Structure 1
Amino acid sequence: MSAAAVVCNGQGHFLSHHSASSTETLFLTYMMSQTALTSNQKPINRPIVLASIDRSMSKPSASSVDRKSGFCSETRTFRSLRPPVLLPPDALPLSFTSYAFSLLPSPLPSNPALLDAATAASLSYPDLLARVRSLSYSLADRLALSKGDVALVLSPSTVHLPVLYLSLLSLGVVFCPANPVSTPAEISHQCRLVAPVSVAFATSSAAPKLPPHLKSVIILDSPQFHSLLLASDHERPAASSSTTAGGESGVLQSDAAAIQFSSGTTGRIKAAAVPHRAFIAMAAAFHQYAPRRPAAEVTLLAAPMFHSLGLAAVCGGLVLGRTTVVMESPGFAKMLRAAAKHRATTLLAAPPVVVAMARSEEVDKYDLGALEAVSTGGAPVPEEVARRFMARFPGVQLRQGYGSTEGGGIATMISNEECSHLRSVGRLGNVEAKLVDVKTGKALSVGQQGELYVRGPAVMIGYVGDYQANESTFDSEGWLKTGDLCYFDNEGYLYIVDRLKELIKYKAYQVPPAELEHLLHSIPDVLDAVVVPYPQEDVGQIPLAFVVRKPGSNLSEAKIMDYVAKQVAPYKKIRKVLFINSIPKSATGKTLRRELATRALGGSRL
């Protein structure tokens, strides 16, 4: 009997347009055995408002959609120009873990699933499935974790972290990844946002930062966790190794899978609840669009797994049967060394890494001949930097993408032709979008700038326990407001103009910092630059540039302001320049603009 037929016994049907592999049969059969372990199920601890709003994409007539731009005249929205992503029926009980493993080929790939960049320790695909099975049982049996519990995870990226994530997801436990370099005060605040936390998983170095009131803490680099990870078959009751199918564990696709912290660099931190359906949609898109040659594909993950960029990359690599090389600690030289040592074909990293690769002499010390693509997201790569990168690596695709914790993957680049649109972040994926005039609320068309709204299967459920934030983030039709000023060209490419909150208000004008930053990056002696608003009583705000010069450069404030002034309208001129040794950025590559603005106001040492 096929896995699809097994699931049909309890649920009616499984995946449309999908035939099950023997891998799926084995794993789904195991997952059905978790019913007894999760019988005391409970809802997510704190209610999320707006979760009942229908956020499904509209279904206009095909004739109303322009085949070149994707603009729909009937709904005044933009549609994806890619083939539709095939998803399981949304009413089908299904965890992301079950779905992800159902996509693996049979027999399982012979290449490693996960590989430690520093030690070369690896985890094969059979070992990955076995350890997820063991840990899932241990978490339910020994720790009594079940659907609706919240697990805080405080750890750098390791080969065992995906095992933990997948195990928690298989039980319906909501995992909550946090940055291990956060301060104790920040972690305490995060715990309050998602309270009550049922269990915390942390490394021995990060555990002292946890609030003392947490009753259950598992140290990830301890014998205790190792024993959970390697629970042997004889420890499990017979019922846990054979039963019927994958949905009866009670996990629904609409259930929260993860709570990710968002907006820490641009405003007060919020806890975004992301459903299993969002992860399933992401995996389905990877599986449908990506090329099939797993044994030859090695992805070096230089983005942390507590961030949506790193999390999406590791999940995508696993469902495609590729090898993902994991870096536990950051560092540009470490990354280059790992890319050369492990013959990485794809590098996934934040935009500052792309800037460094385009400019640093350190690159010349390493053989990156196997590299075929660099994928990046989190912030736009300046056009001049992209050109320098492509000139230095002529055979390497620079794939820019655009998404968010709240909205999932919104746009991306796939082909060489798409990657040639340097200022764009790609074309829409499995999502519907519209552009809204920020003053009138009117839906806009091709070439017009407005705030980008999105909706689709990868959009979050909402912010946990934050009614005000949900009210301001979603409209009455379930559209997620991204806060980004954007436009589409007549070929369906999306362009990010700037964050609406970051626009500089000079007199009656709005000045986008990104435009000025593009110009600054085109100056040969500029290594990095950021433009922030600086208050000035007579005009409101002026553009202030923080600039990192090349070592030994005598580039002056006057030369910079004159260079920019010749290329922009008078109201966009940079009117103040401060030189700085480095631009402060988060672990995921986002510029800490508020920190720079505060420094400028306070006159603190740069």
Structure 2
Amino acid sequence: MKNASSFKIENGIIKGEECPFVDPNYNNCGEMLLEKMKNNVNTVGQVDAETGKEDTFGDMMDRSIRCALWMKNKNLKPGDVVAICTNNHLDSIILCLASLYIGVVFNPWIDFGLTKDVMRHFINLTKPKVLFTNEETIQTVLEVAREENINIEIIVFGSVPGFLSFNDIINKQEKLKVENFECTKFQSVDQPAVILYTSGTSGLQKGVLLSHKSIHGNIKLMANISDASCTALVYSSLCWNTGIICPFSFIAQNSKRIVANDFSGKQLCGFVEKYKINWILLGTSLANRLVTSGEMSKYDMSSIKYLWITGSMFKEETQRKIQKLIPSAHIFQRYGMTEFGGLVVHQTNDEKLNSIGTIARNMQMKIIDIVSGKILGPNETGEACFKSPHMMIEYYNDLEKTREAVDSDGWMHTGDLCYYDENGFIFIVDRLKELLRWDGYHVPTVVVEHLIQTFPGISEKNIEKLVEDNLPDYMRLRAGVKFLDHMPYIASGKINRFELKKIASVNARCQ
């Protein structure tokens, strides 16, 4: 493990160590990645976890160049948008590389649970010229495009009569043109690169527009806190920051990526034993499922050196439990944001496990009072605000939302309630939008949730009494308790709090 970033606190602002993160030889991040692959053509870059099929960096380089040539032949220019709606497979990251080479902006869609209305929102927001997608999505896309009178060319992974396949466009390219290919030169690293969607827990997703500079910065940050080379497993698909930055970083670090879908604890442990995986990234929910699966004790997990946990706050007791099950591993929480293209805060070897860690390199953070906007000091809870040189350009085609989130001084207002202690360790309390108010008091829902999770029984009156006996009066469950047959989720797997509020509203009216 490389040394953690250092930081300082000045006038209430936590400042991470400033480090150069852009290679002056490359404004185009794709050009840098292409050079890395050219230098390691015989090294295995990715492996299909289920079949064991291997893809060398030479193979990846060849297909990505061929895809870029097809895009150029279609007259796609820098700034044009191509959409991608697919699961993890050996060709998914190839599209992203090809787009970087020529300045096309790639736009991953949520690849599962995608409704027609969400698809309509995506198409209207970015108006992609081309969509690369799986067979089962095509008909719905055609219906939406027809209804919205939008012309979009569809390339399919697989085979559907009447549609070009990804293999078709790759095989059509001439060998000589592949050998002589050169990436597009940009005047600045601020060239737009990718549009990623926010999770949309409280409404329609916003499109976060990130630059080549942002990708450069996050690849460099990954290199600063990871070993130089590894065999890695990341379940994140392209619609997540980690589903893009991690594969790019593995190319830059000459690492092998195990490409997998459809997580289960048994599957993950089997892959670890089979491929001797030593670096894993999991979302919080998957990490919890791994612990409760009981599978880790059945397999040889000793190859694991690092396990990163991202997405939301991870319980200290669960983190310690995983540590006991995998004593060979360094287990760290990572706090990231789509708007920054990657990590913002991270744990290192010296962290308090009930915190999310300390500020990352090239990041700044302040905590402000949610009413006055005043900068707060240690152990004072307020809204976390961040800034960095590689944060987003904007919310795509949404100036109003951009101005709401980023103030005139360049601070991104996260909506997360946090505090930091005297040593700079950062703690998440709740989401500001999920903070309830009662009789002038702020009620952090996470405090109530954590208490209820400690209760072994399931009954309405007992839960109400538990809260009444253990929490202040203003946190009492005055609207009662409602049991659901199932929890509503958004397509990304997070709880749909917007839908929960509607359910609660209906329940309140019925009482």
Please give the range of the TM-score, normalised by the shorter of the 2 chains: 0.7 to 0.9
Normalised to the residue count of structure 1, the TM-score between the two structures is 0.75
Structure 1 position 413 matched with structure 2 position 349: no
AA in 2 matched with 1:129: M
Alignment match, 1:273: 209
With over 3 angstroms needed to count, the CA separation of the structure-2 counterparts of 1:231 and 1:251, relative to structure 1, is farther
Structure 1 position 159 matched with structure 2 position 90: yes
Structure 1 position 241 matched with structure 2 position 159: no
The CA deviation at 1:130 is 2.1
Alignment deviations for residues 422-473 of structure 1 (CA, whole Å, 9 cap, x no partner): 3324433321222221111112222222212211122111112212112211
What is the DSSP-based 3-state SS (H/G/I as helix, E as strand, rest coil) of the residue aligned with 1:571?
A: helix
With over 3 angstroms needed to count, the CA separation of the structure-2 counterparts of 1:452 and 1:309, relative to structure 1, is same
Structure 1 position 219 matched with structure 2 position 156: yes
The CA deviation at 1:105 is 8.4
In structure 1, how many angstroms separate the alpha carbons of the residues matched to 2:85 and 2:492? 16
With over 3 angstroms needed to count, the CA separation of the structure-2 counterparts of 1:312 and 1:428, relative to structure 1, is same
Alignment deviations for residues 347-372 of structure 1 (CA, whole Å, 9 cap, x no partner): 21211111122223344444433223
**Contact 2:263-2:286 within 8 A present in 1 as well:** no
Structure 1 position 371 matched with structure 2 position 307: no
In structure 1, how many angstroms separate the alpha carbons of the residues matched to 2:449 and 2:193? 37
Alignment match, 1:308: 241
Structure 1 position 385 matched with structure 2 position 318: yes
The CA deviation at 1:291 is 1.7
The CA deviation at 1:410 is 4.2
Alignment match, 2:436: 504
With over 3 angstroms needed to count, the CA separation of the structure-2 counterparts of 1:151 and 1:232, relative to structure 1, is closer
Alignment match, 1:194: 126
468, 472, 482: which one aligns with 2:414: 482
**Contact 1:451-1:484 within 8 A present in 2 as well:** yes
In structure 2, how many angstroms separate the alpha carbons of the residues matched to 1:109 and 1:345? 22
AA in 2 matched with 1:358: V
Correspondence 1:3-402 to 2 at 5 A:
70-73=8-11, 76-80=12-16, 82=17, 84-89=19-24, 94-102=27-35, 104=36, 107-108=39-40, 111-141=43-73, 143-181=74-112, 182-195=114-127, 197-210=128-141, 211-212=145-146, 213-222=150-159, 224-230=165-171, 233-234=174-175, 236=177, 241=180, 249-250=185-186, 252-292=188-228, 294=229, 297-402=230-335
The CA deviation at 1:68 is 8.0
In structure 2, how many angstroms separate the alpha carbons of the residues matched to 1:488 and 1:109? 46
Structure 1 position 594 matched with structure 2 position 508: no
Alignment deviations for residues 17-41 of structure 1 (CA, whole Å, 9 cap, x no partner): xxxxxxxxxxxxxxxxxxxxxxxxx
In structure 1, how many angstroms separate the alpha carbons of the residues matched to 2:507 and 2:375? 43
Correspondence 1:441-590 to 2 at 5 A:
441-523=373-455, 525=456, 554-575=457-478, 576-580=480-484, 583-590=487-494
What is the DSSP-based 3-state SS (H/G/I as helix, E as strand, rest coil) of the residue aligned with 1:349?
A: strand
403, 410, 434: which one aligns with 2:336: 403
In structure 1, how many angstroms separate the alpha carbons of the residues matched to 2:384 and 2:8? 15
Q: Which moved more, 1:498-507 or 1:319-328?
A: 319-328
With over 3 angstroms needed to count, the CA separation of the structure-2 counterparts of 1:275 and 1:596, relative to structure 1, is same
With over 3 angstroms needed to count, the CA separation of the structure-2 counterparts of 1:430 and 1:315, relative to structure 1, is same
In structure 1, how many angstroms separate the alpha carbons of the residues matched to 2:71 and 2:220? 27
In structure 1, how many angstroms separate the alpha carbons of the residues matched to 2:338 and 2:157? 25
With over 3 angstroms needed to count, the CA separation of the structure-2 counterparts of 1:290 and 1:231, relative to structure 1, is farther
Alignment deviations for residues 202-231 of structure 1 (CA, whole Å, 9 cap, x no partner): 111122221233341111224732133345
With over 3 angstroms needed to count, the CA separation of the structure-2 counterparts of 1:242 and 1:221, relative to structure 1, is closer
What is the DSSP-based 3-state SS (H/G/I as helix, E as strand, rest coil) of the residue aligned with 1:128?
A: helix
**Contact 2:383-2:414 within 8 A present in 1 as well:** yes
The CA deviation at 1:161 is 0.9
What is the DSSP-based 3-state SS (H/G/I as helix, E as strand, rest coil) of the residue aligned with 2:272?
A: helix
In structure 1, how many angstroms separate the alpha carbons of the residues matched to 2:278 and 2:346? 17
Q: Which moved more, 1:474-483 or 1:218-227?
A: 218-227
In structure 2, how many angstroms separate the alpha carbons of the residues matched to 1:191 and 1:422? 41
What is the DSSP-based 3-state SS (H/G/I as helix, E as strand, rest coil) of the residue aligned with 2:339?
A: coil
The CA deviation at 1:564 is 4.2
In structure 2, runs of 5+ residues without a counterpart are none
Structure 1 position 436 matched with structure 2 position 373: no
AA in 2 matched with 1:72: E
AA in 2 matched with 1:71: I
In structure 1, runs of 5+ residues without a counterpart are 1-66, 526-553
In structure 2, how many angstroms separate the alpha carbons of the residues matched to 1:155 and 1:134? 19
**Contact 2:368-2:384 within 8 A present in 1 as well:** yes
In structure 1, how many angstroms separate the alpha carbons of the residues matched to 2:7 and 2:304? 32
Alignment match, 1:23: none
The CA deviation at 1:509 is 0.8
AA in 1 matched with 2:177: R
In structure 1, how many angstroms separate the alpha carbons of the residues matched to 2:293 and 2:486? 14
Aligned-pair identity (%)? 23
**Contact 2:66-2:173 within 8 A present in 1 as well:** yes
Alignment deviations for residues 114-148 of structure 1 (CA, whole Å, 9 cap, x no partner): 1112111221112222222222222212x222211
In structure 1, how many angstroms separate the alpha carbons of the residues matched to 2:484 and 2:319? 23
Alignment deviations for residues 80-108 of structure 1 (CA, whole Å, 9 cap, x no partner): 1x46243235xx76222113345x38852
What is the DSSP-based 3-state SS (H/G/I as helix, E as strand, rest coil) of the residue aligned with 1:186?
A: helix
AA in 1 matched with 2:124: R
With over 3 angstroms needed to count, the CA separation of the structure-2 counterparts of 1:215 and 1:86, relative to structure 1, is closer
**Contact 1:399-1:412 within 8 A present in 2 as well:** no
**Contact 1:409-1:458 within 8 A present in 2 as well:** no
The CA deviation at 1:400 is 1.0
In structure 2, how many angstroms separate the alpha carbons of the residues matched to 1:348 and 1:68? 23
With over 3 angstroms needed to count, the CA separation of the structure-2 counterparts of 1:86 and 1:274, relative to structure 1, is closer
- RMSD over aligned Cα atoms: 2.8
The CA deviation at 1:173 is 0.3
With over 3 angstroms needed to count, the CA separation of the structure-2 counterparts of 1:583 and 1:323, relative to structure 1, is farther
